[in-house]
Amino acid sequence: MKAAVFEAYGGPIEVREVEEPQLPDDAVMIRVEACGICRSDWHGWMGHDSDVRLPHVPGHELAGTVHAVGAAVCDWQSGQRVTVPFCCGCGTCEQCIDGCTHICDAYTQPGFTQWGAFAEFVIIRHADVNLVALPSGMDAVTAASLGCRFATAFRGVVDQGRVTDSDTVAVFGCGGVGLSAVLIAKAMHARVIAIDIGDEQLAHAKKCGADVTINASDCSVVDAVREQTNGGATVTVDALGSRKTCFDAIASLRKRGRHVQIGLTLGTESDPPIPMSAVIAGELEVFGSHGMAAAEYPRMLEMIAAGRINPLLLIGDVVSLEESCERLMRLNEFTTVGATVIKLV
């Protein structure tokens, strides 16, 4: 099969022929139709994720068709169109039994713990726990855009942030995760402020429903958010994952506000400082959001089917597998607008 492979962290990525993966009894083999290019893939390529072992194939935001089924799989068969959470559960640990397969104690992640979906085929373990059937009218590119960034933002905004129509939500970073958070917060009828340093990204956030945009390169972000909210946002989302955006997002909250950390803080951005005195004095709440369990996907898919959320607004570009190599290596330049999706079929 064809796959995009790198053999050194930060080194070249090239498309070449490799052997098809072996199929465990509890797994399915998916013929990949589309796969998102995510900043998490860039972190893996840079060597920031301890799960990644060389040589490696990235890619975790996938949609495709079940190609082969392991002997122990009960609920799926060849020909079904599916997607998966980026973090897959084992089905038997304490977290999985509690319904939190996305934070499984023995998780598997395509593109991290195993070869991923920048390839013609990918293996998904514990398929009965992790596969999600795609609605009949949903194309693969749209489904792939739901992957890590959209599902994580959905759980972050709806469940962790508990956003309602009475909230003002400030979203820091307008890449794929941030735009997803903007779309979802608007679907919950909140007032939304989008923050970025790029005018194109902010214009895209406006198209996704942002009521106010702030260019962080032109001002004190915390002061600007407080001015726009008459004292602070009720919910903030760090969709980028930097030391500065994490700090500024928490510092932009009003008393009893809620912060949701979605962007990964890895490499040079690890262990960001937190304004803990403000957390204590203002009784602030700080949450992480790390994906979403497969069992929770139907609620999100129903909102999309009802027209409350249009994930097509997230997609900035569709590229080939060969083009994906350069796109991934340049991802930290933040020059792309919206999500980039690889179309394989």
CATH number at residue 106: 3.90.180.10
CATH number at residue 209: 3.40.50.720
Compute the distance between CA of residue 5 and CA of residue 21 in angstroms, rounded to an integer.
14
Compute the distance between CA of residue 45 and CA of residue 54 in angstroms, rounded to an integer.
10
Cβ atoms 241, 265 nearer than 8 A: yes
Cβ atoms 24, 123 nearer than 8 A: yes
Q: pLDDT at position 58, please?
A: 98
137 and 216 co-located in one domain: no
Parallel, antiparallel, or unpaired: how do β-strands 61-69 and 28-37 relate? Answer: antiparallel
Output the pTM of the full model.
0.90
181 and 240 co-located in one domain: yes
246 and 299 co-located in one domain: no
Q: pLDDT at position 147, please?
A: 78
Residues of the domain holding 210: 150-288
Compute the distance between CA of residue 203 and CA of residue 22 in angstroms, rounded to an integer.
45
Cβ atoms 2, 345 nearer than 8 A: no
Four-residue CA torsion sign, 302, 303, 308, 311 = negative
- Give the chain's domain count: 2
58 and 104 co-located in one domain: yes
Locus of tokens 């022929």: 17
Q: pLDDT at position 314, please?
A: 86
215 and 261 co-located in one domain: yes
284 and 298 co-located in one domain: no
10 and 140 co-located in one domain: yes
Please list the rounded mean pLDDT of every run of 10 residues in the chain (345 residues): 98 97 97 94 94 97 97 98 95 96 96 98 98 93 88 96 98 94 97 96 95 95 97 97 96 98 90 95 96 94 92 90 95 80 93
Q: pLDDT at position 333, please?
A: 81
Closest CA to 69 of 123, 114, 119: 123
